[in-house]
Structure formats: structure tokens, C-alpha cells
Amino acid sequence: MTQNSRSDGLVLGAAAVATGLIAGAFYVFACAVMPALARSDDRVYVTVMRDINEVIQNPVFFLGFLGAPLLTAVAAWQARGASHRRWVWAALAASALAFLVTVACNIPLNDALAADGDPTALREEFEDPWVAWNVVRAVLLTVATGLLVKATGSRAPAAG
């Protein structure tokens, strides 16, 4: 195994881990956080989501959130000409779409929720679209993770 091959594998593995972590974060929102908050009254719902939107903006989250597509892009560039490139490029497409959904849909909804206003009205405008777009990005990143894992296995040398 060459040094380039080893570092390529490390980048690909890091992309899979980072993407999986962010997929998992969005999955937890879809499966637990948002269903639990759905049981709350409007004021609690808005307050908690505002708090989440504030505290999630931290270096640890941003490292994974921004690192996942960046590492996947580097892995795609490194995979050019390799047999596993199609899996990495497909993962990059899914990851880029998830990033786009977050920037174009979820973040503007978060920003609107931060505005002053009646909690009931704010929640009515926020909840259903945010939950739906979160599921979209969770699915896209889960697919991207699977594709990166497939690429990792596809680049392994044949046994024997």
C-alpha cells in the first residue's frame, strides 16, 4: 500500500465518520427531539428550539457539519481514476444536497423562529417545514454515509 493510498483511505474514513456523526445528529432530532418537543406548549417549544439553535453553533458541531462535506470533497478528488470513485462522488452529491437543504431551508426557519412574536404563530410557521426538511437532510446524510462506507470497502485490496 502506498503512502498516498494510505492517506486517501484515512481521508475517506474520516469523511465517513464525520458524515455519519452529522447524519446521527439529524436522526436524533427526527426520532426523539422533535417528537418530544411536539408534546410541549408553544412557549416551551419556541424557547427550547431557540436555545438549541443557539448552543448548536459551537466549534465541535461546526467541525463535523463543515468537515463532512469538505472531507468528502477531498476524498472524491483523491478517488479520481479509482474504482470506488462513483461511490464517493455519489456521497458528495448527497452531502452537498443535505448542506443545501440546511442552508436554504432549516437555517432560514431557525432565523425566523428567533424573531419576536407570538409563540403560537412562530411555531405554526416553523414546526412542520423544519421537521420535514430535517428528515430530508437526515436521509441524504445517511445515504451519503452508506455510500462512503461502500467506497471504503470497495477500495480494499482483494484477499488471497
| pLDDT score of 44 more than 80 | yes
**How would you class 141 by CB atoms within 10 Å of its CB: exposed for 0-12, middle for 13-18, buried for 19 or more?**
buried
| pLDDT score of 3 more than 60 | no
| pLDDT score of 38 more than 80 | yes
Give the per-residue pLDDT at 133: 98
Give the per-residue pLDDT at 57: 96
Give the per-residue pLDDT at 160: 41
CA triplet 62, 63, 66: central angle to 5 degrees? 70
All residues at 6 or more sequence positions from 94 whose CB lies less than 8 Å from its CB, including other chains: 140, 141, 143, 144, 147
Give the global pTM.
Answer: 0.91
Q: At 9, is the pLDDT very low, low, confident or very high (cuts 50, 70, 90)?
A: confident
The Cα–Cα gap between 62 and 54 comes to 13
All residues at 6 or more sequence positions from 79 whose CB lies less than 8 Å from its CB, including other chains: 8, 12, 85, 88, 89, 151, 155
| pLDDT score of 37 more than 80 | yes
Q: Mean pLDDT over all residues of the chain?
A: 93
Q: Where are the domains of the chain?
A: 3-154
Give the per-residue pLDDT at 95: 98
Ramachandran area for residue 5 (φ above 0: left; ψ -120 to 50: alpha; else beta)? alpha
| pLDDT score of 155 more than 50 | yes
Give the model confidence (pLDDT) of 55-106 as tens digits. 999 999 999 999 999 999 999 999 998 889 999 999 999 999 999 999 999 9
